Amino acid sequence: MKEVISIYRKHKSTVDEFLVTLIKNLPQDYIQNADKILKENKMIQLLYAVDNNYIQISPTICKKKHDPESKGSQKSHYFSKVAVDARGFYISNPYIHHRTGRASLSMVHKIGEIYYVFDINMIDLLEELRLIEYNGVYDKIKRTIYFVGAFFLAVVAIALILYGGYEFGIILFGDSETDLLHNIFQSIIAITLGIAIYDLSSQIFEHEVLFRTFHHEEDRQYKILGKFLISIIIALSIETLMVVFKIALDDPSQMLSAFWLLLGTTLMFVGLAYFYKTIKQSSRKEEE
């Protein structure tokens, strides 16, 4: 909703002029030609007529049905701030439509003593003007795929966290012969990986399912990747410490292997730091 409004405000004069031209070119008897108008103009959600006393004098005509019960209703609360221009037009501020739940505009065209009201779907309007790229069917398929993928990632994450809790429970209440060091590190690693995968799942769900944007945010995918890598590196660091401790206690002759493992983990930290530095520099250049 915020993004749609932002795009509209940025191109307000162009969009408003397009709407005025569109309405002017419609068959002038709007109510009699309502079905044809709605069929040929995807962005117009509904229309109706109101007299000079702000009483609705026509049914509310939608794409799939007419609402005769709305005829005769009082509309003065809607028209209290309506001020048509010299051409007889008025365009409202964006709002969420009570029937469709979508970002909308209301456009009023006054002809004589009659106000004709058109409710405009902003997404369809901006798509018509090529200000956004949006395909309803493709968007639903994409959201569904992302939802299923994010759901199963969340299930895997929860399973890992539960497994980590199970391992920790064995340490507390299990056999006294349990390898304490091995099990506690195993528990930590499972929980850390579970949190990392769950964080990735929530990021996908939030950005691709709930709040899907209409333009490609250049650094968003890098932020998601960065957060995931941080969790993975933490898990690897814990695993490295476990291996170092085990080698130190069981077989000190293998300390060289532990050194290379520590060096590899350190290089991953350096690589992640360089990754973040590159992204920040790129963002600054774009802002400039």
**Cβ atoms within 10 Å, residue 257:** 13
pLDDT value at position 171? 79
Q: What is the pLDDT of residues 67-88, one digit of tens each?
A: 888 888 988 888 877 888 999 9
Helices (H), 174-219: 180-204
Indicate whether 17 pLDDT > 60: yes
Task: List residues bridging with 62 in a β-sheet.
Answer: 46
* pTM, entire model: 0.53
Q: Among 2-6, 78-82, 88-92, 173-177, where is mean pLDDT lowest?
A: 173-177
Give the span between the Cα atoms of 167 and 186, in whole angstroms: 7
Q: What does DSSP say about strands 95-96 and 103-111: parallel, antiparallel, or unpaired?
A: antiparallel
Coil/strand/helix, residue 250: helix
Between the alpha carbon of residue 189 and those of residues 91, 167, 169, 177, 242, the distances in Å are 58, 11, 15, 21, 10
pLDDT of residue 51: 92
Task: Please compute the mean of the pLDDT values over residues 269-285 and round it to a whole number.
Answer: 76
Stretch 90-96: mean pLDDT: 89
Q: What is the DSSP letter of 219?
A: T
Q: Are 55 and 79 in contact (CB under 8 A)?
A: no
Confidence grade of residue 216 (pLDDT, cut at 50, 70, 90): very low
In angstroms, the CA 244 to CA 255 distance is: 7
- Most confident among 18-27, 77-86, 243-252 (mean pLDDT): 18-27
* pLDDT greater than 80 at residue 90: yes
Query: By C-alpha distance, which of 235, 236, 257 is closest to 246?
Result: 257
Q: How far apart are CA 61 and CA 244, in angstroms?
A: 74
- 49: three-class secondary structure by DSSP: strand
Query: What single letter denotes the amino acid at residue 145?
Result: I
Report the pLDDT averaged over residues 20-44. 90
Structural tokens at position 198 = 């769950």
Residue 161 in this model has a pLDDT that exceeds 70: yes
Distance CA 143, CA 209 (A): 5
Pairwise CA distance, residues 56 & 219, whole Å: 50
Q: Do the beta carbons of residue 161 and residue 191 sit within 8 Å? A: yes
**The tokens of 211 are what?**
């709040």
Q: Is 190 or 18 the better-scoring residue by pLDDT?
A: 18
Does 126 score more than 90 pLDDT? no
- In this structure, which amino acid lies at residue 197? I
Q: Which residues contact 170 (CB under 8 A, 6 or more apart)?
A: 178, 183
Q: What percent of the chain has pLDDT over 70?
A: 85
Give SS3 for 76. Answer: helix
Question: Average pLDDT over the chain, rounded to whole?
Answer: 81
| pLDDT above 70: residue 284 | no
Name the helix (H) or strand (E) containing 60: strand 60-62
